[in-house]
């Protein structure tokens, strides 16, 4: 077993365990930290799989952006209400049935999957070239989408609506 | 190793994500579940892309990450807004459209 | 024509009663209207008498049908009934006239005259009835209206008790009589008097039952208490009911059905009549109350009539009924005037009566009652005695005559001769009172019976059954001698003594009141004890048992209601609620539920695709 393989397994186990821990933790802050662990181990898996660019983007965007955003969200909402955040669960049976049935379905589907050990590493120049050639339109669209959504998020969060009186 | 382990890993992550979305009462954790599901999809994309030399799967993963960021940003903004508006972060209690009983 | 007169004389008093009740607001007018109606009825009956004195009229109309039997109402008009009808209406008219003055200070005059009219009409109904059922109907009506009349002063509890006792006694008799009538109806199949007359005598039992009714009505020995108690009523009422008409109805009835009765019943009736006659005479001798003396005298005379009517000839009894009604009504009305003027009923306290307006009627009535010659009473009494040929009836009749003489002498002595310390409250009685008294006093003369004072044959009563051939005989002179000697003996006795030794204290009706009270109360006490025991031991547990069953059943049904009926409904509603809720679950506005269901559908969809 190579180091790469061992790393893959290690990060898979870490990611799985931390993702599962999100489900069971009672602390929402700790849940977000678990999410961060999962995202980072996923990034490591990307790198180990040869997709360094994706992995680094993952680290930058998720670990650096989304998780920070979430933490800010937690802090803001808990500050606003002055009460502990409700992280209790409901629909437990439904959730378990749904997710486990999907898991079973996927595992059933993976049984007869012919897999080849992956080969080749995607280099940055190739990515850059393909981004500006084959994927130029999606790239621009995603840029516009990102712009619009960020601006929209800012507007939505900032505009001072009056509370609705029922 | 059996490469299928990664698929199982992704499936597991996805299931945890869907479970979070369905089960947790906090809007924030629902967002977390969404992120997990997107990540699981990304893992699959990157894993299948690693068998070919073309970067299409990686590109797709990058765009997914971008969209996920957009989603997280807008979702959090909406969550804050809703929180201001209803003084709660529980989706159960946000039922304006429901018939009053 | 005769029928019309009979119907008119029967219906007019009733119509007068009705009209008085409905129209007369003023008491003064009520009396005059009622008098007018009764007077018209009297005139009608006199016309009827001229029409059908000799020729009997009989008419009947179908009344109702039970099974195959046809019952009819009818009118049987013969000499007896015409005489009785004229008598009833004459006395009633006199009493009406008298009441205008006598009752003028009373409050409920309208109802008084209505009752009087009802009574007169019912009595006339009895007189003319041809069917026993019809007769019984009026018989009951007479009982009822006499109850009303006796109880006229209903504020007084004694009056109420007297009225109730009279009604009760009469009811006993009426019930017995009704059963007798029913027996006859079963036995003979008809109740019409003319048809019955063709079928021979009735059964002894039925006859005895009829006799019981007659005894109650005519106040014979076991029933005599009601008549003396009934003196609590107004005096005109006493004159009408308890001297002339109602109590005479029994005698009239027995005269009418005389041919139907078997000889055993007649003998028993004669025995009872003689006992009653003696008892009534003794009672009169012992009493000091003016009205009670007259009441006892009435009882005595009724017993005498019953004796004469059953042991002798009914025509003689009818004749005495006729004369007795007149002189007894006269005595009652005169007594009413005395009581009205002095407010006193005790003959020891009334004092000497000096006004000839009162003494003459009193003497006339007394003479007629004793049976002195030249009076109507002489002829009728001697006729009865003549008709009793021999044996114990004759001797008891003589004894009654003796007693009658003695107590009448005593009464007259007390009222007219005995000087009293208290002055009488004299005042001139008015015309309304004196007119009837005068008419009745005139009726005490021999002339209303026979043209000749000593000969029964030249008689107005010639056509009455079986008496036209009576002549004054040996017994007449014996009786006359007896009467005169006893009267003078009594006069001298009562100059020194006020009572006769041995017959003192008959104020309580020979103890019969006490006896009846005890007879009534002892079984009633036993009965009430038995009833109480039954109530406590039998009925109460039974009721409790039923109640427990009821409660248990109620609990059971309650349980059924709660758990089965309600349960079914609750189950249905629960099912509906649950199904509604489960349907609502998809639209509850819970985002995560939506997600779950959508996701599950997706999974199922994928499974379906793969499979």
Q: Interface partners of B (3+ CB pairs, < 8 Å)?
A: A, C
Q: B64 in contact with A at a CB cutoff of 8 Å? A: no
The predicted model gives C556-570 an average pLDDT of 89
Residues C466 and C590 occupy one common structural domain: no
Q: What is the pLDDT of residue C201?
A: 80
Tokens of C490: 């009594």
Q: Are B75 and B34 in contact (CB under 8 A)?
A: yes
Query: Is C462 among the domain residues?
Result: yes
Contact A90 C592 (CB under 8 A): yes
Q: Is the pLDDT of residue C605 over 80?
A: yes
Query: Residue C556's domain spans which residues?
Result: 517-598
Among C587, C589, C595, the residue with its CB nearest the CB of B22 is C595
Mark which of C470, C503, C536 sits at the end of a domain: C503
Residues A62 and A137 occupy one common structural domain: no
Alpha-carbon gap: A93 to the closest alpha carbon of chain B (Å): 9
Q: What is the pLDDT of residue B79?
A: 80
Could you give the number of structural domains in chain C? Answer: 2
Residues C413-425 have pLDDT tens digits of: 888 877 665 555 5
Chain B residues whose beta carbon lies within 8 Å of the beta carbon of residue A65: 69, 72
Q: Is the pLDDT of residue A161 over 60?
A: no
Q: C596 in contact with B at a CB cutoff of 8 Å? A: yes
Q: Are C407 and C299 in contact (CB under 8 A)?
A: no
Query: Is A113 among the domain residues?
Result: no
Which of C478, C2, C128, B48 has its CA nearest to residue A51? B48
Q: Is the pLDDT of residue C154 over 60?
A: yes
Q: Where residue A7 sits, what CATH number does that domain have?
A: 1.20.120.1200
Residues C470 and C522 occupy one common structural domain: no
Render the burial of C157-182: b for 16+ CB within 10 Å, e for the rest.
eebeebbebbbbbbebbbebbbbbbb
Alpha-carbon gap: B40 to the closest alpha carbon of chain C (Å): 17
Chain A residues whose beta carbon lies within 8 Å of the beta carbon of residue B56: 130, 134
Chain C residues whose beta carbon lies within 8 Å of the beta carbon of residue A105: 603, 606-607, 610
Q: What are phi and psi of C164, to 5 degrees?
A: -65, -40
Query: Residue A148's domain spans which residues?
Result: 123-159
Lowest mean pLDDT among A4-13, A25-34, C119-128, C582-591: C582-591
Residues A129 and A57 occupy one common structural domain: no
Residues A14 and A75 occupy one common structural domain: yes
Tokens 């009239």 locate to C252
Mark which of C477, C503, C529 sits at the end of a domain: C503
Q: C582 in contact with A at a CB cutoff of 8 Å? A: no
Mean pLDDT of chain C: 82
Query: Is C565 among the domain residues?
Result: yes
Residues C462 and C560 occupy one common structural domain: no
Lowest mean pLDDT among C87-91, C137-141, C163-167: C163-167
Contacts of C471-474 spanning 24+ positions with Cβ under 8 A: C471/C386, C472/C382, C472/C386, C473/C386
Q: C28 in contact with B at a CB cutoff of 8 Å? A: no
Which of B20, B27, B79, B91 would best serve as a mutation to test chain C binding (most C beta carbons within 10 A)?
A: B91
**Quick one: closest CA in C to A89, which residue?**
C592
C-alpha dihedral sign at B18, B22, B24, B28: positive
Q: Is the pLDDT of residue C548 over 90?
A: yes
Q: Is the pLDDT of residue A71 over 90?
A: no
* Residues of chain B that touch chain C, judged by Cβ-Cβ distance less than 8 Å: 18, 21-23, 25, 30, 91-92, 94-99
3-state secondary structure C183-238: HHHHHHCCCEHHHHHCCCCCCHHHHHHHHHHHHHHCCCHHHCHHHHHHHHCCHHHH
Q: Is the pLDDT of residue C520 over 70?
A: no
The predicted model gives C169-197 an average pLDDT of 86
Residues A151 and A72 occupy one common structural domain: no
Query: Is A38 among the domain residues?
Result: yes
Q: C598 in contact with A at a CB cutoff of 8 Å? A: no
Residues A22 and A70 occupy one common structural domain: yes
Residues C361 and C289 occupy one common structural domain: yes
Contact C603 A91 (CB under 8 A): no
3-state secondary structure C321-362: HHHHHHHHHHHHHHHHHHHHHHCCCEHHHHCCCCCHHHHHHH
Query: Is C452 among the domain residues?
Result: yes
d(CA C297, CA C383): 19
The predicted model gives C64-87 an average pLDDT of 82
| Distance from the Cα of residue C388 to its chain's centroid | 29
Q: Are C156 and C149 in contact (CB under 8 A)?
A: no
Among A8, A22, A74, the residue with its CB nearest the CB of B1 is A8
Q: C588 in contact with B at a CB cutoff of 8 Å? A: yes
Contact B72 A70 (CB under 8 A): yes
Residues C446 and C528 occupy one common structural domain: no
Lowest mean pLDDT among C26-30, C284-288, C560-564: C26-30
Contact A15 B2 (CB under 8 A): no
Residues C342 and C412 occupy one common structural domain: yes
Q: How far is CA A68 from CA A60, B63, C52, in A?
A: 11, 20, 142
Q: C609 in contact with A at a CB cutoff of 8 Å? A: no
Query: Is C149 among the domain residues?
Result: no
Q: Are C209 and C261 in contact (CB under 8 A)?
A: no
Q: Is the pLDDT of residue C130 over 80?
A: yes
Residues C498 and C393 occupy one common structural domain: yes
Q: What are phi and psi of C101, to 5 degrees?
A: -85, -45
Residues C482 and C545 occupy one common structural domain: no
Which of B36, B73, B96 would best serve as a mutation to test chain A binding (most A beta carbons within 10 A)?
A: B73
Tokens 């990611």 locate to A15
Query: Is C469 among the domain residues?
Result: yes
Contact A51 B12 (CB under 8 A): no
Residues A75 and A3 occupy one common structural domain: yes
Query: Is A114 among the domain residues?
Result: no
Query: Is C157 among the domain residues?
Result: no
d(CA C96, CA B34): 121
The predicted model gives C133-158 an average pLDDT of 88
Render the burial of C514-536: b for 16+ CB within 10 Å, e for the rest.
eebeeeeeeeeeeeeeeeeeeee
Mark which of A87, A114, A142 sits at the end of a domain: A87
Q: C601 in contact with A at a CB cutoff of 8 Å? A: no
The predicted model gives C142-165 an average pLDDT of 87
Q: Place A116 in a pLDDT band, splitting at 50, 70 and 90.
A: low
Q: C592 in contact with A at a CB cutoff of 8 Å? A: yes
Q: Is the pLDDT of residue A112 over 90?
A: no
Residues A73 and A149 occupy one common structural domain: no
The predicted model gives C542-562 an average pLDDT of 91
d(CA C30, CA C114): 9
Q: Is the pLDDT of residue B1 over 50?
A: no
CA atoms within 13 A on the CB side of A59: 12
Tokens 């427990």 locate to C548
Q: Is the pLDDT of residue C461 over 60?
A: no
Contact A107 B11 (CB under 8 A): yes
Contact A73 B35 (CB under 8 A): no
d(CA C498, CA C488): 15
Residues A82 and A7 occupy one common structural domain: yes
Q: Are A23 and B16 in contact (CB under 8 A)?
A: yes
Tokens 């018939």 locate to B99
Residues C479 and C421 occupy one common structural domain: yes
Query: Is C390 among the domain residues?
Result: yes
Q: What is the pLDDT of residue C556?
A: 92
Among C588, C591, C599, the residue with its CB nearest the CB of B18 is C599
Q: C583 in contact with B at a CB cutoff of 8 Å? A: no
Query: Is C609 among the domain residues?
Result: no
Return the bridge partners of C426, or none: none
Could you give the number of structural domains in chain A? Answer: 2
Chain B residues whose beta carbon lies within 8 Å of the beta carbon of residue A38: 13, 36, 39
Among A91, A101, A108, the residue with its CB nearest the CB of C592 is A91
DSSP-based three-state secondary structure for C162: helix
Q: Is the pLDDT of residue C550 over 90?
A: yes
Contact C590 B30 (CB under 8 A): no
Q: What is the pLDDT of residue C551?
A: 93
Query: Is A108 among the domain residues?
Result: no
Contact A12 B23 (CB under 8 A): no
Query: Is A147 among the domain residues?
Result: yes
Q: What is the pLDDT of residue A93?
A: 82
Residues C591 and C482 occupy one common structural domain: no
Return the bridge partners of B24, or none: A89
**Quick one: closest CA in C to A95, which residue?**
C596
Query: Is A10 among the domain residues?
Result: yes
Spell out the domains of chain B, with CATH numbers in brackets: 4-91 (1.10.287.3510)
Q: What is the pLDDT of residue C455?
A: 64
Q: Are C35 and C63 in contact (CB under 8 A)?
A: no
Chain A and chain C share a number of CB contacts under 8 A equal to 23
Contact C596 A90 (CB under 8 A): no
Residues C370 and C486 occupy one common structural domain: yes
Residues C325 and C428 occupy one common structural domain: yes
Query: Is A111 among the domain residues?
Result: no
């Amino acid at each position: 077993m190579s180091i790469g393989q061992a790393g893959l397994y290690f990060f898979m186990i870490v990611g799985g365990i931390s993702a599962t821990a999100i489900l069971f933790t009672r602390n929402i802050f700790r849940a977000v930290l678990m999410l961060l662990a999962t995202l980072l181990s996923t990034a490591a898996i990307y790198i180990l799989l040869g997709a360094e660019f994706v992995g680094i983007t993952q680290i930058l965007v998720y670990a650096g952006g989304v998780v920070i955003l979430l933490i800010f969200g937690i802090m803001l909402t808990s500050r606003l209400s002055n009460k502990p955040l409700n992280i209790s669960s409901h629909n437990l049976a439904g959730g378990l049935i749904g997710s486990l049935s999907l898991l079973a379905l996927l595992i059933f589907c993976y049984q007869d999957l012919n897999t080849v050990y992956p080969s080749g590493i995607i280099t940055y120049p190739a990515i850059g070239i393909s981004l500006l050639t084959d994927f130029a339109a999606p790239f621009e669209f995603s840029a516009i989408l990102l712009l619009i959504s960020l601006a929209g998020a800012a507007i939505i969060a900032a505009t001072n609506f009056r509370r609705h009186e029922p | 190793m059996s490469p299928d382990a990664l698929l199982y890993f992704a499936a597991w992550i996805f299931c945890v994500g869907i479970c979070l979305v369905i089960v947790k009462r906090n809007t924030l954790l629902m967002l977390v579940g969404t992120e997990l599901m997107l990540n699981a999809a990304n893992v699959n994309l990157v894993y299948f892309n690693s068998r070919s030399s073309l970067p299409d799967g990686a590109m797709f993963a990058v765009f997914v990450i971008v969209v996920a960021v957009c989603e997280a940003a807008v979702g959090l903004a909406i969550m804050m807004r809703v929180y201001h508006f209803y003084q709660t972060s529980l989706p159960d209690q946000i039922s304006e459209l429901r018939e009053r009983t | 024509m005769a029928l019309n007169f009979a119907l008119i004389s029967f219906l007019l008093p009733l119509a007068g009663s009705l009209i008085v009740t409905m129209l007369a607001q003023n008491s003064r007018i009520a009396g005059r209207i009622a008098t007018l109606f009764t007077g018209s009825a009297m005139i009608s009956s006199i016309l009827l008498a001229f029409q059908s004195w000799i020729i009997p009229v009989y008419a009947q109309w179908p009344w109702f049908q039970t099974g195959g039997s046809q019952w009819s109402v009818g009118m049987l008009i013969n000499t007896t009934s015409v005489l009785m009808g004229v008598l009833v209406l004459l006395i009633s008219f006199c009493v009406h006239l008298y009441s205008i003055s006598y009752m003028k200070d009373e409050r409920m005059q309208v109802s008084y005259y209505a009752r009087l009219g009802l009574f007169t009409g019912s009595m006339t109904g009895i007189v003319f009835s041809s069917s026993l059922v019809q007769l019984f109907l009026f018989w009951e009506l007479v009982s009822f209206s006499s109850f009303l009349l006796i109880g006229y002063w209903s504020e007084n509890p004694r009056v109420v008790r007297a009225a109730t006792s009279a009604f009760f006694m009469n009811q006993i008799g009426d019930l017995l009589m009704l059963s007798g009538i029913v027996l006859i109806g079963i036995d003979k199949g008809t109740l019409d008097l003319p048809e019955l007359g063709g079928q021979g005598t009735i059964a002894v039992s039925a006859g005895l039952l009829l006799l019981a009714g007659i005894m109650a009505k005519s106040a014979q020995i076991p029933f005599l208490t009601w008549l003396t108690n009934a003196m609590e009523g107004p005096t005109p009422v006493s004159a009408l009911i308890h001297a002339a008409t109602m109590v005479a109805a029994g005698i009239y009835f027995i005269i009418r059905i005389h041919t139907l009765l078997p000889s055993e019943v007649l003998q028993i009736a004669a025995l009872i009549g003689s006992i009653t006659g003696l008892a009534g005479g003794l009672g009169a001798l012992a009493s000091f109350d003016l009205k009670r003396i007259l009441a006892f005298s009435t009882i005595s005379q009724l017993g005498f009539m019953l004796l004469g009517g059953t042991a002798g000839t009914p025509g003689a009894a009818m004749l005495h009924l006729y004369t007795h009604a007149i002189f007894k009504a006269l005595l009652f009305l005169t007594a009413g005037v005395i009581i009205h003027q002095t407010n006193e009923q005790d003959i020891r306290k009334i004092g000497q009566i000096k006004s000839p307006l009162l003494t003459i009627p009193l003497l006339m009535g007394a003479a007629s009652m004793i049976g002195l010659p030249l009076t109507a009473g002489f002829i009728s009494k001697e006729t009865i005695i003549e008709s009793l040929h021999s044996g114990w009836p004759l001797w008891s009749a003589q004894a009654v005559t003796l007693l009658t003489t003695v107590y009448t002498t005593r009464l007259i002595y007390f009222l007219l001769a005995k000087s009293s310390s208290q002055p009488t409250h004299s005042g001139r009685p008015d015309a309304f009172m004196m007119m009837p008294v005068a008419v009745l006093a005139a009726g005490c003369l021999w002339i209303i019976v026979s043209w000749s004072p000593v000969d029964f044959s030249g008689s107005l009563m010639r056509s009455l059954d079986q008496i036209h051939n009576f002549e004054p005989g040996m017994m007449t002179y014996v009786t006359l001698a007896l009467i005169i000697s006893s009267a003078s003996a009594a006069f001298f006795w009562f100059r020194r003594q006020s009572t006769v030794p041995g017959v003192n204290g008959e104020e309580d009706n020979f103890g019969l009141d006490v006896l009846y009270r005890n007879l009534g109360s002892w079984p009633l006490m036993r009965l009430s004890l038995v009833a109480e025991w039954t109530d406590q031991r039998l009925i109460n547990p039974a009721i409790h048992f039923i109640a427990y069953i009821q409660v248990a059943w109620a609990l059971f049904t309650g349980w059924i209601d709660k758990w089965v009926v309600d349960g079914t409904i609750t189950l249905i509603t629960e099912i509906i609620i649950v199904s509604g809720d489960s349907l609502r679950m998809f639209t509850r506005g819970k985002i995560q539920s939506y997600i779950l269901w959508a996701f599950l559908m997706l999974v199922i969809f994928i499974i379906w695709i793969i499979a």
